Structure 1
Amino acid sequence: MQITFLGTSSGVPTRARNVSSVALRLPQRAELWLFDCGEGTQHQILRSDLRISQLSRIFITHLHGDHIFGLMGLLASCGLAGNVEKVDIYGPPGLNDYLQAASRYSHTHFSYPVKVHTVKPGVIYEDEEFTVSCGLLHHRITAFGYRVVEKDRVGRFDVEKAKALKIPSGPIYGQLKRGETVTLEDGRVIKGSELCGPTEIGRKIAYCTDTVYCDGAVSLAADADVLIHEATFAHQDAEMAFQRLHSTSTMAAQTAHVAGVNKLIMTHFSPRYAPGNSIELRDLLQEARAIFPNTDMAHDFMVYDVPRRREVVANHLNSV
């Protein structure tokens, strides 16, 4: 699982930062998932190492322009390129109406299936490898945060150990690889988990923007390997943050601390903290690290590989 930040500014783009979009690349299945799609996102993808042909799912937090103005252009380009098989889009009520109106008035017709899913709190997508859920955040309009959970996987199967135990190859190996318990013809009971390496613990990613500090963000981020959280304002501008229902750097850090995450990556920064101003972005980073030390500040095209945690499992067989 690899995260690429395509836009890290809030409200408007700057020379160095585009507006909101984060890509999640899933190399094991050659898929690309997108979280928000601000204006210019397709240009950012072209400037990155990502392959637009792998795009399969887009998750939209809310309908403010800096999070959706790039959506229609991206979808239209995918159709003209002809490489995308289908795209599922998830987002709040009104998203489908927006896309239908844009398609109608621009006379844009997609050459591939596009399906819009109106989300509500809870699980919104699940397959054999991943579960995606969403929860309400606290913003000026309806806004959702997202949580991606990779399911645990049985560790690597030890073929040599199986051969040493004279376990016949064939379908039985498949069962043992899946961690199942198998009874052999000679009466021995073999647990697949004892022939496999350490369990590969599924990774967890939370994406929370736009929002002021709220319990919803804490719940979504619980025990996450990485939390991507907006930090529009410095702590000194907390009053402005409350008025506009955005987060300060310290709110993002508090969310990470209370949720018990492993790493916090802040994004969605106000252009007011440009270099040379009385408060700069490096000050926001210091504020956050004072509360949650394992904090980084995202920049456009920053790539983060989400590390995998492993659970140690004893590897031994019951004697028969």
Structure 2
Amino acid sequence: MLQFTFLGTSSGAPSLTRNVSGLAVRHSKSKDWILIDAGEGTQHQIQRAKLSLQHLQAICITHVHGDHCYGLMGLLASAGMNGRKEQLTIIAPKNIQLWFEATQQLTDLHLPYPLEFIDVNTLQQAIQINESIQLSAIALHHRVESYAFAIEVIQQQKKLNVDALNALSIPKGKLWGDLQQGKDVEYDGKLLMSNQYVEIQQHRVKAIIGGDNDQPELLSSACQDADVLIHESTYTQATLDKVGTAPMHSSAKMVAEFAEQVQLPNLVLTHFSARYHDHEGLNMLKNEAQQFYSGQLFLAEDLASYEFNADHVLVKI
């Protein structure tokens, strides 16, 4: 139902193996998608992930630090050069709009499509991005105004009562198809009502995607009914203790303890300091998180995709 493709998983600056923050989110059955953050180089990662800027529905910027937004202007310009005409929604702190307007004026930037800016600070209730995705925002704690985004998909599926149809010896084919589409049909002199043979099943997935944040507990309410939390894990706890509180980031231990406390079934860590980009460093983060979290744990990788499958299990694809 819901698919996540990581376009960048490094904090601060890119490395040879990881770009800075960017995450593509889409409904598995649709080409439409949402971009969460757009660090420098994001448009190259979009091309590598084979995503189309024509199908981009919205861009959500968690905060104004450069590793989360410096790729935005080039991305917007490229979308125009590639012939985009449809309106694009940008949900972000107000300063992102002011930055765009200054860039537009100072660099002679002309877009052939309209932008709708929504100040994330004014987003008091959930909004519908498209027919399948709903989005809301949660304030976090960082050196600048920072937010998490809650993304929810609700999908309805019609399931035929096969046993009942077989019991009546109703042949497969058009009659079954018509019933599933909500049509009443006549068979052997009897009127078969669709609502008696079709069950409406509702499937729901909710993801919480955090910006930079040193207080995971701010997401407690949002995570009560969430299926997955995607959160920064910039340091191990030992490193965080050394650098102090000034960077206002989370450690693997902090996020893992929180995820365990609220009983999250899935946790994806990202936004890793460059000191952890090798195999040994990633194992340090993973081992620390596993000491405090018993659910399903992933460490995000650039250009890797993760999806909730038909059994509602998050898997790497």
Pairwise TM-score range, normalised by the shorter structure:
0.7 to 0.9
2:273 corresponds to which letter in structure 1?
S
C-alpha contact (below 8 Å) 1:217/1:255 kept by paired residues: no
Instruction: Give ranges in structure 1 of 5+ residues lacking alignment.
Output: 178-187, 311-320
Between the aligned partners of 1:77 and 1:264, the Cα distance in structure 2 is 33
Alpha carbons of structure 1 residues 194 and 257: separation in structure 2 relative to 1, 3 Å: farther
The 8 Å contact of residues 7 and 21 in structure 2, kept in 1 or not, is answered as yes
Question: In structure 1, which of residues 217, 238, 241 is the aligned counterpart of residue 240 of structure 2?
Answer: 238
CA-atom RMSD in angstroms: 3.0
Matches within 5 A, 1:62-81: 62-81=63-82
The yes-or-no answer on 1:53 pairing with 2:54 is yes
Any conservation in 2 of the 1:200–1:309 contact (CA below 8 Å)?
A: no
- 1:284 matches 2:289: no
Q: CA deviation at 1:139?
A: 0.5
The residue type equivalent to 1:237 in the other structure is T
Letter of the 1:89 partner, please give it: I
Q: 1:194 to 1:259 in 2, by over 3 A?
A: farther
Q: Aligned residue pairs: how many? A: 296
Q: CA deviation at 1:68?
A: 0.6
Counterpart of 1:45 in 2: which secondary structure?
Answer: helix
38-47 or 255-264: which moved more? 255-264
The offset of 1:245, in angstroms, is 1.0
TM-score (normalised: structure 1): 0.82
Measure the CA separation in 2 of the matches of 1:267 and 1:253.
12
1:86 offset after TM fit, Å? 2.4
Matched, 1:303 2:309: no
1:295 positional shift? 1.1
CA distance in 2, matches of 1:148, 1:253: 21
Residue type matched to 1:230 in 2?
E
Aligned to 1:251: 254
Matched with 1:136 is 139
* 1:151-230 correspondence to structure 2 within 5 Å: 151-158=154-161, 192=195, 195-196=198-199, 199-230=201-232
SS in 2 for 1:260: coil
Cα displacement (A) at 1:160: 9.1
TM-score by length of 2: 0.83
Aligned twin of 1:118? 119
Deviates more, 1:60-69 or 1:20-29: 20-29
| Matched position secondary structure for 2:240 | helix
Secondary structure class of the residue paired with 2:278: coil
- Offset of 1:32 from its aligned partner? 1.4
**In the alignment, which residue of structure 2 is the partner of 1:145?**
148
- Asked whether the 8 Å contact 2:237–2:252 carries over to 1, the reply is yes
CA positional deviation for 1:97? 0.7
In the other structure, the counterpart of 1:264 is 267
Deviation at 1:93, TM superposition (A): 2.2
Are the equivalent residues in 1 in contact too, given 2:63–2:145 (CA < 8 A)?
yes
Structure 1 residues 191, 252: closer, same or farther in 2, change over 3 A?
farther
1:10/1:195 CA distance change after superposition, 3 Å: same
| SS at structure 2 position matched to 1:123 | coil
Structure 2 runs not aligned, ≥5 long: 185-190, 313-317
Q: Partner letter of residue 98 of structure 1?
A: W
